[in-house]
């Protein structure tokens, strides 16, 4: 009984209906992936996780490898009124744009992908030490790994990166596009994996969500409807199928 009472508090996602599926939220200090095809809500989910953290007074960090950070800030402001521009000014949020030339990490076909990922890991490590965010969101990490062909290299580079994150006292949400099954290699290395999808019911397309795994936690086995409104993303208590 005491052991249950002494369980560490979970990190609340800020997504209505999600925490119930994973017995209360994410474990602190873990790496949590969100996988799904384009437009299923990965970036919105992770941005909402970050926005919620700032509302709780937590310092947060976003790393955007593929989209420019300005685009992300504009989209979240236009869609939901989440003002990442102001949060950045107030130093509640740091956004690291990896396409920023001053970081010398520009994606280029001339750069060896393994070398690029090693530099990326160093950058993440340096930024985590410098800023000590409570929450971290890395958008579209798959974009970096896609150029690496050998699965064992992907696994080993992902393990290195995830290890750095776990030892940094931050809770991370990482979005992954579904790329030729390579996302599975990263999901193996993560502490939890959530899958977002699009389903067709009759003539209607709906979004869905399920938890693939969460180490050290009970999880719901049901697929749920996922909806996006002006208030952000929420998980319904309903399933797409009867």
Ligand X SMILES: Nc1ncnc2c1ncn2[C@@H]1O[C@H](COP(=O)(O)OP(=O)(O)OP(=O)(O)O)[C@@H](O)[C@H]1O
Using the minimum distance from each CB to ligand X, give the nearer residue, 41 or 189. Answer: 41
Using the minimum distance from each CB to ligand X, give the nearer residue, 14 or 217. Answer: 14
Using the minimum distance from each CB to ligand X, give the nearer residue, 48 or 192. Answer: 48
CB of 67 to Mg ion, least distance (A): 7
Instruction: Compute the residue count for the chain.
Output: 242
- For ligand X, the binding residues (CB under 6 A) are 36, 38-44, 79, 177, 228-230
CB of 61 to ligand X, least distance (A): 18
- For Mg ion, the binding residues (CB under 5 A) are 43
CB of 46 to Mg ion, least distance (A): 8
Inter-CA distances, 60 with 24, 63, 93, 158, 186, Å: 20, 10, 5, 21, 23
Residue number closest to Mg ion, CB atom:
43
Work out what residue 65 binds among Mg ion, ligand X, none; the CB cut-off runs from 5 to 8 Å by kind: none
Work out what residue 177 binds among ligand X, Mg ion, none; the CB cut-off runs from 5 to 8 Å by kind: ligand X
CB of 40 to ligand X, least distance (A): 4
Work out what residue 36 binds among Mg ion, ligand X, none; the CB cut-off runs from 5 to 8 Å by kind: ligand X
Work out what residue 41 binds among ligand X, Mg ion, none; the CB cut-off runs from 5 to 8 Å by kind: ligand X
Task: Match 């402001």 to its residue by tokens.
Answer: 77
Using the minimum distance from each CB to ligand X, give the nearer residue, 87 or 233. Answer: 233
Using the minimum distance from each CB to ligand X, give the nearer residue, 79 or 119. Answer: 79
Task: Match 């990190």 to its residue by tokens.
Answer: 11
Structure tokens at 102: 């001053």
Task: Match 């410098």 to its residue by tokens.
Answer: 130
Closest CA to 36 of 199, 232, 235: 199
C-beta pairs of 107-114 under 8 Å, 24+ apart in sequence:
107/65, 107/66, 107/143, 107/144, 113/144, 113/145, 113/147, 113/148, 114/148, 114/153, 114/157
Any idea what DSSP says for residue 155? Answer: H
């Amino acid at each position: 009984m005491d052991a249950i009472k002494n369980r560490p508090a979970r990190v609340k996602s800020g997504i209505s209906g999600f925490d119930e599926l994973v017995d209360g939220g994410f474990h602190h200090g873990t790496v949590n992936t969100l996988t799904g095809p384009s437009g299923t809500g990965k970036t919105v989910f992770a941005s909402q996780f970050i926005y919620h953290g700032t509302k709780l007074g937590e310092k947060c960090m976003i790393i955007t490898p593929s989209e420019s950070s300005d685009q992300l800030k504009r989209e979240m402001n236009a869609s939901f009124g989440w003002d990442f521009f102001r949060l950045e000014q107030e130093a509640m949020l740091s956004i690291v744009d990896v396409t920023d030339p001053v970081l010398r990490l520009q994606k280029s076909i001339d750069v060896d992908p393994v070398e690029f990922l090693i530099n990326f890991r160093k950058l993440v490590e340096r930024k985590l030490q410098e800023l000590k965010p409570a929450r971290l969101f890395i958008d579209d990490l798959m974009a970096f790994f896609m150029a690496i062909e050998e699965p064992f290299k992907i696994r080993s580079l992902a393990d290195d990166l995830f290890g750095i994150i776990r030892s940094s006292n931050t809770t991370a949400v990482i979005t992954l596009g579904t790329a030729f099954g390579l996302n599975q290699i990263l999901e193996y290395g993560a502490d939890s994996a959530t899958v977002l999808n699009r389903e067709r019911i009759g003539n209607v397309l709906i979004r869905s969500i399920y938890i693939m795994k969460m180490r050290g936690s009970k999880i719901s086995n049901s697929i749920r409807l996922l909806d996006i409104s002006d208030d952000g993303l929420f998980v319904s208590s309903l399933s797409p199928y009867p």
